[in-house]
Amino acid sequence: MNETPDLPGAVQLRAGDALLVVDLQRDFLPGGALAVPDGDRVVPLLQRYLARFERTGLPIVFTRDWHPPDHVSFSVRGGPWPPHCVAGTPGAAFAPGLRLPASAQLCSKASRPDAEAYSGFEGTELAARLRSQGVRRLFVGGLATDYCVKATVLDALREGFEVLLLADAVRAVNLHPGDGARAEQAMTQAGARPIRFEQLAGEGA
């Protein structure tokens, strides 16, 4: 990709930026216990974002569901979902083919049996950790648009971070038709700015 500093809406990475990849785990990919349609298609896109952030030395954080076997969200306990992303199981591992940079930080969530947490900020030290690194602007992508991405973005905005939603690197469950589109609208109305990889100014990946 050529340099794109003059692209309308171009975004220049700068100090204070961080990439936040939400729940890019095997159980959310096709064939997984709670598969997001086309969820695997975000992997190569997010790999491009990861390469750009790694080259610039900016913080990279991966959230992950890290459930106990008897988590309250599971259908066996009356929750809405089949068992998924049980801590330490293959389904909780990150997507096949995804290369985590050595500098990547992990944020495990929903790890207590009786507490659900769609957002990476809920029940974690994520906000404090980001602030301690001087982060002010978050680039957020991953799975799924209408659940954990939406909850994470809305909490990030409430925490005072500027948020850029990686619109080309999210996919929705769409349990009800249009859930993904409504989630994106809710995020933008709350203040998130949707962008695509081509809008990143400078050398491409």
Active site residues: 23, 109, 148
Cis peptide before 144 (omega within 30 of 0): yes
- DSSP code for 146: I
Query: Residue 120: which of 110, 112, 129 has the closest Cα?
Result: 110
> Is residue 171 helix, strand or coil?
strand
Task: Give the start-end residues of each E strand in the chain.
Answer: 17-22, 60-65, 105-109, 137-143, 162-171, 193-195
* CB of 24 closer than 8 Å to CB of 94: yes
